[in-house]
Amino acid sequence: MPKRSDVERVIGSSLLLEGERLPIWWQSGDRVIARAMLARALRLQGFAERAHNETRASLDELQSADDKVTICRVLYYGICRIAPMTGDFAAAESAIARLVEEATSLNARFWMTAGQFLQGKLMVARGEFAEGLALVCAAFTTCSETGWRLSYPEFSGSLALALAPYRADSGQENGPGAGLGLVRDARRPSSGDPPPARDL
């Protein structure tokens, strides 16, 4: 993740004058994406109000964006991550639904998988452990097939939280090892053997 000062510099940079050419590495949505990432950094540093303001600013700037990949990136790094941190599950659900919709319209498997991870994480945060576990595991299966490492530690944490109710001493009727069975079932590809345990 870029340093906060670098992100703030991108946001504060002046816009190009008409007719100026962009370097090849420059993406048209860099400024709005930088706002979304700054919001996340601010929230992690404990500046909840500033994070909320940057998230709103990124959404306002996003209104004029017509590049669907930029929209996916801004939603993923911005409100989809900030809203659950502040307990605004309704805003998170709405933003995640939009991310999935945009990704699906592009047939962009990467962003559809990102949306699946976020949906699963949100369900786990709401206490919907079995449903969240199934989504997170399905997304991990996609990542195992493709080699993507999409916020791996973050979503591994969601996987662990989803398994918590199924631990051996929980006293639930499913008993010891039920959580691992759920993971195996959720991660089982449509054909062939389940992914190796090391991929969990």
| Side chain identity, residue 196 | P
Supply the DSSP symbol for 31.
Answer: H
* pLDDT computed for residue 76 by the predictor: 93
Q: Distance between CA 82 and CA 142 in Å, rounded? A: 25
Close Cβ partners of 167 (under 8 Å, ≥ 6 residues apart): 179
* pLDDT computed for residue 134 by the predictor: 94
* pLDDT computed for residue 152 by the predictor: 82
* pLDDT computed for residue 3 by the predictor: 62
* pLDDT computed for residue 23 by the predictor: 46
Which residues in the chain show pLDDT less than 70? Answer: 1-29, 167-200
Q: Distance between CA 79 and CA 52 in Å, rounded? A: 8
DSSP annotation string for 68-85 = HHHHHHHHHHTHHHHHHH
pTM, rounded to two decimals: 0.72
- Cα 36 to Cα 84, 113, 142, 176, 191, distances in angstroms: 14, 19, 26, 42, 39
> Based on the number of CB atoms within 10 Å of its own CB, is 159 exposed (0-12), middle (13-18) or buried (19 or more)?
buried
* pLDDT computed for residue 171 by the predictor: 53
Q: Distance between CA 54 and CA 37 in Å, rounded? A: 9
* pLDDT computed for residue 11 by the predictor: 52
* pLDDT computed for residue 187 by the predictor: 47
Q: Distance between CA 84 and CA 63 in Å, rounded? A: 22
